[in-house]
Structure 1
Amino acid sequence: MKNLWGIALSVAIGLSGNLAHAEDWQLAKDEQGVKVYLSSVPGSKYKAYRGVVEIKADVQTINALQEDVSGSCAWIHACAEMKLLKREGDQAWTYSRIDMPWPVNGRDLVLHVSTERATDGSVVRRLEATPDYVPEVKGLVRIPRLLGEWRMTPKGQGVTEVVYQVQTEPGGSIPSWLANSFVVDAPFNTLSSLRDQAERRR
């Protein structure tokens, strides 16, 4: 099932806007070494999610997978298409298309991605929806708002802790059953697949 939150793909943005208020995190799933937390967001009917996993690969390996924009559909939950629109140093703009299950209309998403590197070797990749960056596509609903963050922190002995956090307003109408399942499935499946890909490249 293709899903919208999985496309949050990719990257995500920092703790600004409503995401800054999503702090009352409740554990929703803890399986196979992946933990998923949910938090209500003031003014939104959609919950923010945070996924946490330890990966037996270094930050550089995981970062390389994320920078391969077109190849990221291999591990991002529900990614139908992803492409790089523009890159300027540590700033990038990406376009993603998401096929939604019938009868929900398909979505697309334009993200501004910024990457920060710290002296301890950690990498933070932030993203924010920029819906007006390119014209809307007929037949798709443009996602109007997304904030999120990827945080990759070296833990020693070739292990990296990865935190993936997102809050989004998907636009249009999304059935509650779909929204409730996606906010858990998207971070869980994305982090599980990313771990598999990264550990195979060690």
Structure 2
Amino acid sequence: MNSFSGRFALLILVLLLGAPASAEDWRLATEQDGIQVYLSSVPGSKYQSYRGLVDINADVRTLVALQENLRVACKWIYACAEMRLLKYAGDDVWLYMQTQLSWPLRPRDLVLHVTTERSADGAVVRHLEAAPDYLPAVQGMIRVPRLSGLWRMVPLADGRTRVTYQIRGDPGGSVPSWLANRFVIDAPLETLRTLRAVAERQPRPAPQ
């Protein structure tokens, strides 16, 4: 698999209900196992944005590698059923993703345009934007019409990484309010919890 194919596996994410917000009114919704999840109302939308924060005992390079392997990334991204590379062009990548969600939701699919920025201090930011018209509709799938978000990975002095995962979107179709409210908690919490578990099992790189 192309080493770039997954680097935007971040996905992903996913999906569906959540975007970055520069001036949103974030409120802490839950804090579990060292992971904080914040929510924010979105004007004109019935879906809330979510933001998950966690410190992971792994360096940025390790986390980037886990995102660059699509097969592995789909295992730690909440509700991911399939993910594959559509196009790679330098710091821009287009990904296709299908979700596996609980009844009564129908499966969704998503085309993501992901752009990566790297800073001199070693931080990596990946911007996510839905590109629903990039591919024709897939039979049996509801195409996610709107999504924006980011992954931010900032190195800490002790070798850990502070990770932010933030999403805002519209899943398309009809979603019961109780399920939407559960999703915006479960998606960041489970994604970051599983990513942390996988990352902290990886061998630490030798000091340079």
> Fold-level match, TM-score > 0.5?
yes
TM-aligned CA deviation for residue 52 of structure 1: 0.1
Matches within 5 A, 1:156-171: 156-171=157-172
- Taking a change above 3 Å as real, the CA distance of residues 39 and 22 of structure 1, as seen in their structure-2 partners, is farther
Q: Report the secondary structure of 2:21's partner residue.
A: helix
Gapped runs of 5+ residues in structure 2?
1-8
Matches within 5 A, 1:166-181: 166-181=167-182
State, as a whole percentage, how many aligned pairs show the same letter: 58
Is contact 1:11–1:150 with CA below 8 Å preserved after alignment? no
Is contact 2:78–2:190 with CA below 8 Å preserved after alignment? yes
Is contact 1:11–1:126 with CA below 8 Å preserved after alignment? no
TM-aligned CA deviation for residue 38 of structure 1: 0.2
Is contact 2:60–2:154 with CA below 8 Å preserved after alignment? yes
Partner of 1:149: 150
Structure 1 consecutive aligned stretches of length 4 or more whose deviation exceeds 3 Å? 18-22
State TM-score, norm by structure 2.
0.87
Residue-by-residue CA offset, 1:113-170 (whole Å, 9 max, x unaligned): 0000000000000110000111110111000000000000001121100000000101
Residue-by-residue CA offset, 1:155-195 (whole Å, 9 max, x unaligned): 11211000000001011000111100000000000001111
Within 1, Cα distance between the matches of 2:52 and 2:113? 21
Is contact 1:116–1:125 with CA below 8 Å preserved after alignment? yes
Partner of 1:63: 64
TM-aligned CA deviation for residue 99 of structure 1: 2.1
Name the amino acid aligned to 1:159.
Answer: R
Q: Report the secondary structure of 1:146's partner residue.
A: strand
- Taking a change above 3 Å as real, the CA distance of residues 19 and 152 of structure 1, as seen in their structure-2 partners, is closer
Residue 10, structure 1, aligned to residue 21, structure 2? no
Within 1, Cα distance between the matches of 2:68 and 2:150? 14
Count of aligned positions: 191
Gapped runs of 5+ residues in structure 1?
1-6, 13-17
Partner of 1:48: 49
Partner of 1:127: 128
Within 1, Cα distance between the matches of 2:13 and 2:62? 15
TM-aligned CA deviation for residue 74 of structure 1: 1.4
Q: Report the secondary structure of 1:24's partner residue.
A: coil
TM-aligned CA deviation for residue 87 of structure 1: 0.8
TM-aligned CA deviation for residue 22 of structure 1: 5.7
Q: Report the secondary structure of 1:80's partner residue.
A: strand
- Taking a change above 3 Å as real, the CA distance of residues 8 and 160 of structure 1, as seen in their structure-2 partners, is closer
Partner of 1:199: 200
Q: Report the secondary structure of 2:150's partner residue.
A: strand
Partner of 2:25: 24
Within 1, Cα distance between the matches of 2:147 and 2:138? 18
TM-aligned CA deviation for residue 23 of structure 1: 1.4
Within 1, Cα distance between the matches of 2:87 and 2:139? 22
Is contact 2:28–2:37 with CA below 8 Å preserved after alignment? yes
State TM-score, norm by structure 1.
0.90
